[in-house]
Amino acid sequence: MATAVCPGSFDPVTNGHLDIFARAARSFSRVIVAVGFNPTKANRHLFTLEERLEQLRQATREFANVEVDSFSGLIIDYCAEVGARSIVKGLRSAKDFDYELPMAHMNYELTQVDTVFLATSPRWSFLSSSLVKEVASLGGDISEFVPPFIADQLYSRTGQGLEGEES
């Protein structure tokens, strides 16, 4: 059984992430979406770890071979723990590639874990959790970019309320 780990902060999960999970789930028999700790973003998370895990569980419910978990420490140690030989990452642009490649090299050098890059669907090549949060916080329409229940949570967390609702 080939297991792959899809790591990230997922604050919150977007349709771009979901597209990558779905495609990873077609190539691997078991996919673990793992929420990791990124110190550079730690103080800026809109949703708690528990909230992000619950969002991911709900958003991936339809995928039979996708699980949701969290990890702290090195991703390679987590991969060893769950028996994964591959990490799957989505690439939106050359900028993502420049950021991801040294980590992929380091992870391979340390434990021979492979990083499999999937080119993001062009439809989502501009999409990021940060942009979605910014648009939501200013009252813009994010319905195309995240599942409806995440949009509701974003509007209420950023103080925008739901569309048409008085606040």
Q: Is 45 a catalytic residue?
A: no
Q: Is 92 a catalytic residue?
A: yes
Q: Largest Cα–Cα distance of the chain, in whole Å?
A: 55
Q: By CB under 6 A, tell whether 74 contacts ligand PNS.
A: yes
Task: Reduce the DSSP state of residue 58 to 3 states and report it.
Answer: helix
- With respect to ligand PNS, which residue has the nearer C-beta, 105 or 162? 105
Q: Is 86 a catalytic residue?
A: no
Q: By CB under 6 A, tell whether 90 contacts ligand PNS.
A: no
- The string of DSSP codes covering 95-163 is HHHHHHHHHHHHHHHHH--EEEEEEPPGGGTT--HHHHHHHHHTT---TTTS-HHHHHHHHHHTT--ST
Q: Which of 27, 29, 41, 57 is catalytic?
A: 41
Q: By CB under 6 A, tell whether 96 contacts ligand PNS.
A: no
Q: By CB under 6 A, tell whether 14 contacts ligand PNS.
A: no
Catalytic residues: 17, 41, 92, 129
Binding site for ligand PNS (CB under 6 A): 7-9, 36-38, 41, 74-75, 103, 106-107
